Structure 1
Amino acid sequence: MKQFVKRLLYGVLIVSTVCTLSGCNREETSTTVHADRGPVGYKAIAAMNASAAEKAEQSVRTMSREDKIGQLLFVGLQGTTLEEPQKDIMRKYRVGGILLDNDNMVSKEQVRTFTQGIRDNANVSSLMPPFIAMNRERMQYRPSLMLPWIQPKILSKQGLDAVSSLATRTAIEMRDLGFNLNLGVMVNTHSFYSYTDDVDRAARIGEIITKRYATNHVFTGYQFFPGGADYTVPGLTVDTSKASLMDDDGRVFARLIDATKEEHPMIMVNAVKVTSVDATHPVSVSKPILTDWLRNELGFTGVVVTDDIEVGATVSGMSMAEYAVRTINAGSDMVIIRNDAKHIKEVRDALLQAVADGTISEDRLDASVRRIMLMKFSNDQ
């Protein structure tokens, strides 16, 4: 028996030595691989003890290319209830945002059910939670649904306290209805929808609205960079010099970029031409305007979103596929596709192909996804 024990101990010692020399500790290797990969799902990343920026970076590292492309898509849905066709659009295209309008809304309870369905579908489909947005300032007033938004110039004349009070009440209302983004705060001074023609006051009003919404966990988006004219007119051409624009609406955006950085607002662009800066391309596909001016000169690090791609592509004389690829390369992060599932597929497929063939670089794609995810993680979204 003693001889058997000695042989057994000798055998264990040999095996242990061999494993040590050859690095065959399987448990230790498995742990190391797992640490390198990190958490994969949104919930796991959200639960990390880390900053919003670190969580955004982890998302970029672990998301598939299809999920990354999906984050660039801001889509409209048909109907007033979330049925299988709408759910399938979310699942198939992995969409980053959903924009609802008057046709999607009937009553408070119906809207709450709709938005809850969107969140539930994202959850069971392992999607990153989408932005759920409306343009609050353009919604038709219906007493059964929401508070009236006072005509902007009238509201401005009532004073900044009135602006703050209305923004607070409507932000609470939007959050109650299930929205997390008011995509459309008009900060241009030349539109019918403008609050004022005074650029300093326009900047202050935009700041107040954004901060009141952020306090109630609702993001905002500013319309429309760089301003200087009524950008609600499709196909408009602006001949104003860049210096003049920076004394006009450009100054509004510069102040808002500085004053509301912590609130992570979006900036919306459309297909207006500013020929003094880019004689060839509309704003939404102009790298000199979106990257060189907005990002590099004015220091905007947030999400840039296009207006409706169907309008922008038509005005620009491009297919939606070409327009989508060019706006991302110019500096946009998200593309709005309002009405047609076929168009969503067309845009998604074009973006996938562009990344696959290098027309859009992986670094360029990751930069947009990083900005989008930073915004989503920054405000308990």
Structure 2
Amino acid sequence: MKQFVKRLACGVLAMAMIGVISGCGQEAPSTPASSDRAPIGYKAIAAMNASAAEKADRSVHTMSREDKIGQLMCIGLEGTTFDESQKKLLRKYRVGGILLDHDNMESKEQVRAFTQGIRDTANTSSLMPPFIAMNRERMQYRPSLMLPWTDPKLLSKQGLDAVSSLATRTAIEMRDLGFNLNLGVMVNTHSFYSYTSDVDRAARIGETITKRYAANRIFTAYQYFPGGGDYTVPGMRIDASKASLMDDDGRVFAQLIDATRDEHPMIMVNAVKVTSIDADHPVSLSKTIITDWLRKELAFDGVVITDDIEVGAAVAGMSIEDYAVRTINAGSDMVIVCKHPKHIKDVHDALTQAVADGTISEARLDEAVRHIMLMKFSNE
């Protein structure tokens, strides 16, 4: 009997060992892992030991659709105080950028408080930090607020050292006031605001300003692609061919794209028509110009931003809602909506609906947001 029990125990043990050994050749049942799309805060991603590109990819992969749509908007605000109504606006629409102008600024202390309020609200509301922008080159001079910007053509004649010096001082000033984006430089050679009519010199000036700003953690945006005329004139029509533009302002942009890739500048488009390339659409609504030419041919992989779409929509003869959706589909990544709360709501609602019904594809949304997040993480 004892011998039988002993044999039985050995048999059970052997069977158990066979089960363990055979089990090693099979995949063990997996335990549910946390989803790759589980929300991860901006700070956590920023702290990752990864490249800006990897962080941007991670953000796009985990962001909610609501947050992505908000990133497409850069809005203006009314008043000189970041009050509770504006905090609600930022929290509700979760916007990618805020643009301040003359009417928002009175003194250094007031502007610092305004921009600090924006940052604090974004931080406490777990929002992606927004761009806080101004157009530095066109700000009205106020001795109590900031340095004067030298007349562009005079500054150009003073040489690149003078350009570099002024850009450095104004970048430091902007950073001190709480800004991180200058919606300039004017690199077109045909505008009243142009530095020069020499395209190669215009590119060198744009590069100098952008690099000095970037060294002081301020982004820039080049105005206006593809050039060839005075883009500050609403409704301007240009008949120049692509080849002639590439011997003109197009060459400025091509040189700047190559020379300042590491500084991640934006490029701004507006409602001027280049009829020889796209007779039916202004630049800001032209996939042929933004996606096929700027993106594919000139290899620009940064943020494309519109000028104020309220002006663009009026020139194009359409609603701002339709204009916003169509410019995103043409290849723009961000739209500027200046100040009117109703217009901000209308544009946000239109973008939300367009993504929901597939008019703006998830792939196009993700592509735009990735451009924006890559730029933001490059300044960490």
Q: Indicate the TM-score class for this superposition, using the shorter chain for normalisation.
A: over 0.9
Alignment-derived partner of residue 92 in structure 2: 92
Mapped to 2, the partners of 1:379 and 1:230 lie a distance apart of: 32
Q: Percent identity?
A: 78
Alignment-derived partner of residue 64 in structure 2: 64
Give the conservation status (yes or no) of the 8 Å contact 1:39–1:45. no
1:355 aligns with 2:355: yes
Question: Where does structure 1 differ by over 2 angstroms across 4 or more consecutive aligned residues?
Answer: 20-25, 34-39
Mapped to 2, the partners of 1:114 and 1:219 lie a distance apart of: 19
Report the number of matched residues.
Answer: 362
Mapped to 2, the partners of 1:69 and 1:308 lie a distance apart of: 18
Give the conservation status (yes or no) of the 8 Å contact 1:141–1:148. yes
Give the conservation status (yes or no) of the 8 Å contact 2:36–2:62. no
Which stretch shifts more, 38-47 or 164-173?
38-47
Find the residue that maps to 1:335 and give its secondary structure.
strand
Q: Deviations over 1:162-200 (max 9, x none)?
A: 000000000000001000000111000000000000000
Q: Where in structure 2 are the equivalents of 1:148-167 lying within 5 Å? A: 148-167=148-167
Q: Where in structure 2 are the equivalents of 1:295-374 lying within 5 Å? A: 295-374=295-374
Q: TM (normalized to structure 1)?
A: 0.92
Q: How far is the alpha carbon of 1:36 from its aligned partner?
A: 3.4
1:36 aligns with 2:69: no
1:173 aligns with 2:173: yes
Alignment-derived partner of residue 110 in structure 1: 110
Alignment-derived partner of residue 212 in structure 1: 212
Find the residue that maps to 2:183 and give its secondary structure.
strand
Mapped to 2, the partners of 1:36 and 1:292 lie a distance apart of: 33
Alignment-derived partner of residue 292 in structure 1: 292
Give the conservation status (yes or no) of the 8 Å contact 1:307–1:335. yes
Mapped to 2, the partners of 1:251 and 1:38 lie a distance apart of: 44
Which has the higher Rg, Structure 1 or Structure 2?
2
Mapped to 1, the partners of 2:371 and 2:159 lie a distance apart of: 34
Find the residue that maps to 2:191 and give its secondary structure.
coil
Mapped to 2, the partners of 1:141 and 1:161 lie a distance apart of: 22
Mapped to 1, the partners of 2:213 and 2:243 lie a distance apart of: 32
Q: Deviations over 1:255-281 (max 9, x none)?
A: 000000000000000000000000000
Q: Where in structure 2 are the equivalents of 1:115-194 lying within 5 Å? A: 115-194=115-194
Unaligned runs of 5+ in 2: 1-12
Q: Deviations over 1:30-89 (max 9, x none)?
A: 5xx227346611111111111100000010011110100000000001111100111111
Q: How far is the alpha carbon of 1:379 from its aligned partner?
A: 1.0
Q: How far is the alpha carbon of 1:125 from its aligned partner?
A: 1.0
Q: Deviations over 1:199-249 (max 9, x none)?
A: 000000000000000000000000000000000000111111111111000
Q: CA RMSD in A?
A: 1.9
